[in-house]
Amino acid sequence: MTMDQKWTKRYEAFAEHQAARGIDLQSVKKSILAHHIETPSWGYADSGTRFGTFSQAGAARTAQQKLADAAMVHRLTGVCPSVALHIPWDKVDDYAALSQYAASLGVTLGAINPNLFQETEYKMGSLCNPSEKVRAKALEHCYECVEIMQKTHSKNLSLWLADGTDYPGQDNIRERKHRLEECLGAIYDRIPNGSRMLVEYKMFEPSFYTTDIPDWGVSYSLCKKLGEKAEVLIDLGHHAQGTNIEFIVAYLLDEGKLGGFHFNNRKYADDDLTVGCINPYEVFLIYRELVDGWTDPRLNPDVAFMLDQSHIMKPKIEAMLQSVIFLQETYAKALLVHAGRLKEAQLAGDTIAAEEELKAGYDADVKPLLAMIRIENGIDPEPIAAFRKSGYMEKIIKERSK
Ligand code: AFD
Ligand code: MN
Ligand code: MN
């Protein structure tokens, strides 16, 4: 029996069961194929912890190599057409040429991420720094990134500030808020129509006493004041232990301020592990809120689904494939929850039936569904095995060791 025959057989049993549950698998397949996940250029390069960087043979070093690896992930999954850039890590002289190179590989350039955390001047902050000169430097960098957005036809400026303080009394909390609002307003005024500024929050790190954008409430308040081109970016690793992230997702989606996600997973802090490796059910519940929210035509479906991970202990491209496959499978599970039955149970206050309906989706083995979608779209049903057979890793190790 060939691999395709194996998966087709398993899919037939899956489809029969889901049809009996009243699930429209054609619409599920359409949603899965339309669900694009942006991969981060920095996820293909060497990275590390604050205690050291660990290199891997074949790791991408140039923007072009990162795009080549990202294009391989897109070829093997069919749902990763764009690649987020980090400036200056991915700075080039000619962004039009980089866009053309990306297009030649079958991908496009995605969100532009300014770097406001590595220059020595940013020690006391960037946009919140007490020194007007440092704030001006940070603003200039953000303006440069907005210009790059226009050359790469990127729709999202993905803004994360490391700004904060380490000691009580180090700076005035409200004055930092005022500096931040003024600077974000200046950047916002340059965001082209049809593009967005995604304001990412993070509870702590690298600052340990205060962080100037520490939680979703601050990001939401800033975005509300800035205007409709500013939306909140949720990074899963940026919350206190036990935070109910799916609640935040539902609230921001309903408020029209959910801009996007940086997917990863963590055990304790912002560990940037591969999404779903620690808490897969949380990601399922996040997707459930999205699926439910998108049944409301008032709500904006344009959410940026991005990975933000650091692959130290895993080979980078395989870790990226694992993450994309996990998100596809989790979205499929969320789509297998029967909305009508769930609603009925909720209105009847039948907690058991409501939870059982959620679990009917979560517990479904969706691998045959994903495999069939890939087979029907000319993609190998097993992307990681296909990558291992492709010889791509051996090729780039040889090419990049020169
Ligand atoms: C770090 C930050 C944040 C940011 C990312 C890319 O914690 O998540 O989005 O770097 O700049 O992970
Ligand atoms: Mn992030
Ligand atoms: Mn992070």
Cut 0.85: pTM above it: yes
Q: What is the pLDDT of residues 42-79, one digit of tens each?
A: 999 999 888 898 999 999 999 999 999 999 999 999 99
Q: What is the pLDDT of residue 189?
A: 98
> What torsion, rounded to 10 degrees, do the Cα atoms 342, 248, 304, 41 define?
-120
Question: What is the distance in A from the centroid of ligand 2 to the CA of 233?
Answer: 8
3-class DSSP assignment, residue 278: coil
The ligand whose atoms approach the alpha carbon of 160 most closely is: 1
Q: Is 200 in the pocket of ligand 1 (CB under 6 A)?
A: yes
DSSP-derived pairing of the beta strands 164-165 and 210-211: antiparallel
Domain harbouring 281, CATH code:
3.20.20.150
What is the tally of structural domains in the chain? 1
- Whose atoms come closest to the Cα of 84: which ligand? 1
Which residues of the chain register pLDDT less than 70?
none
Which ligand ends up closest to the CA of 43? 1
Q: Cα–Cα distance between 162 and 141 in angstroms, integer? A: 15
369 in any annotated domain: no
Q: From the CA of 202, give the closest atom in ligand 1.
A: 7
**Would you say residue 395 lies in a domain?**
no
Query: Nearest C-alpha to atom 5 of ligand 1 is from which residue?
Result: 308
Determine whether the shortest distance from the Cβ of 380 to ligand 1 is under 6 A.
no
Which H or E run includes 317? helix 316-335
Instruction: Give the domain range for residue 243.
Output: 37-319
305 Rama sector, left if φ>0, alpha if ψ -120 to 50, beta otherwise: beta
Is the CB–ligand 1 distance for residue 90 below 6 Å? no
Instruction: Output the CA 161–ligand 1 centroid distance in Å.
Output: 9
Integer Cα distance of 125 and 143 in angstroms: 17
Q: How close is the Cα of 32 to the center of ligand 3, in Å? A: 26
Whether 235 is in the pocket of ligand 1, judged by its Cβ within 6 Å, is yes
Nearest bound ligand to the CA of residue 113: 1
Task: Give φ, ψ of 305 to 5 degrees.
Answer: -95, 105
Q: Identify whether 382 is part of a domain.
A: no
Q: Which residues have a Cβ under 8 Å from the Cβ of 388 and sit 6 or more positions away?
A: 318
CB-based contacts of 253, cutoff 8 Å, min separation 6: 289, 290, 293, 299, 300, 303
In short, whether 284's Cβ falls inside 6 Å of ligand 1 is no
CA 76 – ligand 1 centroid, Å: 26
Using CA positions, which residue lies closest to atom 4 of ligand 1? 160
pLDDT digits (tens, 9 = 90+) for 363-385: 999 999 999 999 999 999 999 99
Concatenating the DSSP letter of every residue in 326-383 gives HHHHHHHHHHTS-HHHHHHHHHHT-HHHHHHHHHHHHTS--HHHHHHHHHHTT--S-H
| pLDDT value of position 136 | 98
Q: How far is the CA of 157 from the centre of ligand 2 (A)?
A: 12
Ligand 1 neighbour 179 (Cβ under 6 A): no
The answer to whether position 262 is within a domain reads yes
> 142 C-alpha to center of ligand 3: Å?
19
Q: What is the pLDDT of residue 155?
A: 97
**Gap from CA of 394 to ligand 2 centroid (Å):** 30
Residue 377 lies in a domain: no
Top mutation candidate among 157, 262, 312 for ligand 1, by most atoms within 8 Å of CB: 262
- Give the residue from 165, 267, 161 showing the smallest Cα distance to 208: 165
Which residues 6+ apart lie within 8 Å of 89 measured at CB?
A: 41, 42, 45, 115
Mutational test site, ligand 1, from 90, 199, 202, 274, max ligand atoms within 8 Å of CB:
202
pLDDT of res. 50: 83
Domain-embedded: residue 90: yes
Instruction: Tell me the C-alpha distance between 16 and 348, whole Å.
Output: 29
Task: Examine residue 13 and state whether it is found in any structural domain, yes or no.
Answer: no
Distance 154 CA to ligand 2 centre (A): 17
Q: Which helix (H) or strand (E) holds 49?
A: strand 47-49
3 state SS for 103-144: HHHCCEEEEEEECCCCCHHHHHCCCCCCCHHHHHHHHHHHHH
* C-alpha 67 – ligand 1 centre gap (Å): 19
Question: What is the predicted pLDDT for the residue at 48?
Answer: 87
Asked if residue 336 is part of any domain, the answer here is no
Neighbouring CB atoms inside 10 A of 314's CB total 17
Q: Is there a contact between 306 and 263 (Cβ–Cβ < 8 Å)?
A: yes
